[in-house]
Amino acid sequence: MTSRQDAIASLAEDVGRALVAFAERLREEDTSPPVPSSAATHGRQLGKSQQRVLTALHEAGDAGLTAADVAQNTGIASTNTPRILKALADRGLVSGSDETPVVWRSLSPTPAED
């Protein structure tokens, strides 16, 4: 095996391990405990990250949180919080203000269960 083939083989192994880790994280979200029916819309349950975000917003009350605040309060990467907030907004569980930065508030009467 040439050094180039060895490098490509190593890269393929690294990509394979990353894909397996990603698949495991997806499965963890699929096996999350049920959430209250008010938060489970369109026949789908919330993932763990969505539950954490919804709980943080519920706890913040009317003051709400920015995406950066959500990331800090939940430990979720700040690059992921906008996507999660958008998904929750699409499901009618949160709303974002028109101000800059956007302040997000829970519309759910009860927080998601852990």
State pLDDT tens for residues 34-92.
444 454 444 468 889 999 999 999 999 999 999 999 999 999 999 999 999 999 999 99
pLDDT (0 to 100) of residue 11? 92
> Which residue carries 């919080």 as its tokens?
81
pLDDT (0 to 100) of residue 49? 93
What is the C-alpha end-to-end distance of the chain, expressed in Å? 50
- Which among 22, 69, 76 is positioned nearest to 51, based on CA atoms? 76
Q: Which domains does the chain have, with CATH numbers?
A: 32-106 (1.10.10.10)
Tell me, letter by letter, the H, E, C secondary structure of 39-100.
CCECCECCCHHHHHHHHHHHHHHHHCECHHHHHHHHCCCCCCHHHHHHHHHHCCCEEECCCC
Residue 68 tokens, joined: 């950066």
